[in-house]
Amino acid sequence: MSLPTLLGVLFSIVLFIGSILLSTNKVTVFLDLPSFVMVAGGTLAATFVSYEARYVLLALRRMQSILFVSKVNRAILTHEVGRVIRWGYIIQKSGMPGLEADANKVRREDRFVGFGIDLVISGYTGQEVREILSTTIETTFTRNVVIADILRNMGGTAPAFGMIGTLVGLIIMLDNMADPSKLGPGMAVALITTLYGILFARFLLLPAAAKLQQREEILRFRNYLVAEGLALLAERKSPRYIQDRMNAFLDPSLHFSIDKVRQK
């Protein structure tokens, strides 16, 4: 589980409910099934009209992934540099057959790295490896961020349906003008729909979209780092040069050092 994300969700819920409890004892007034159905159903309906159903369902499933720790983090980036440098030493010692034998497990576990290693083993030049992997990175990123775009669109749609629900509630309320005692409760119910729309957008959909977008951008950065290392392997660059070139992508605190590894 991603502890910061989980704490953020719980903290926002506690603050919202706590502020309600401090303001009123009638908590049930904030619960209204028709308002929920109007916002949730309307948002889903509009989204299915706007996007292919397969992508909408995928977006809804991917929302839960933000509660789990991403596989790509700062430590992974340093590890990637060290792994490519190790492959550089293997190529110096055993050539491409040595790389192929050592990277078998990685090729099965990581499709992108496996594809890049296949390019290197096949004899492509460094520039060709860069170009092919860059195309792969960008097309993969474009496909994956569709999920974030869908959630972002839903975040913009939910408040609109909240307003529609409010207008419906106001029409019903005005139709009961003959009984003034019903105006206050009717107005409260009408406004709850707008509240639900804003909560859906700001508490759930837009934060999830931002988190998924950021994770895809981090993955794209990692893939560019690995692609550069693989291109350098194809060019038969020295491990020291690979280290310095790949470290240029990273924050200085994450730099890999061959000398430190040797001292250990």
259 and 145 in one domain?
yes
Average pLDDT in the 109-133 region?
Answer: 95
Do 205 and 105 lie in one domain? The reply is yes
Do 40 and 133 fall into the same domain?
Answer: yes
For 38-62, how does the pLDDT look when each residue is reduced to its tens digit (9 = 90+)?
Answer: 999 999 999 999 999 999 999 999 9
Residue 181 clears pLDDT 80, i.e. is over it: no
Mean pLDDT of 168-181: 77
State mean pLDDT over 244-248: 96
Domain count, the chain: 2
**pLDDT for 14:** 87
- Tell me: do 218 and 260 sit in the same domain: yes
Smallest CA-to-CA distance from 205 within 254, 135, 156, 167 is with: 156
One domain for residues 15 and 40: no
CA distance 4 to 1: 9
pLDDT, residue 19, reads 86
Residue 134 has pLDDT above 70, yes or no: yes
The first and second tokens of residue 165, run together, are: 């629900």
Question: Are residues 21 and 58 located together in one domain of the fold?
Answer: no
H or E stretch covering 107? helix 104-109
| pTM greater than the 0.85 cutoff | yes
In a shared domain, residues 165 and 260 = yes
Cβ atoms of 193 and 166 closer than 8 Å: yes
Residue 237 near residue 173 (C-beta atoms within 8 A): no
Q: What is the pLDDT of residue 2?
A: 79
pLDDT of residue 75: 83
CA-angle at 189, arms to 188 and 190, nearest 5°: 90
Residues 78 and 141 in one domain: yes
* pLDDT for the residue 182: 66
120 and 13 in one domain?
no
Tell which wins on pLDDT, 64 or 130: 130
Domain that holds residue 58: 32-264
Same domain, yes or no: 39 and 118? yes
- Rounded to an integer, the average pLDDT of 52-76 is 89
Report the alpha-carbon distance of residue 126 to residue 195 in Å, rounded.
55
Domain identity same for 2 and 70: no
Give yes or no: residues 25 and 69 share one domain: no
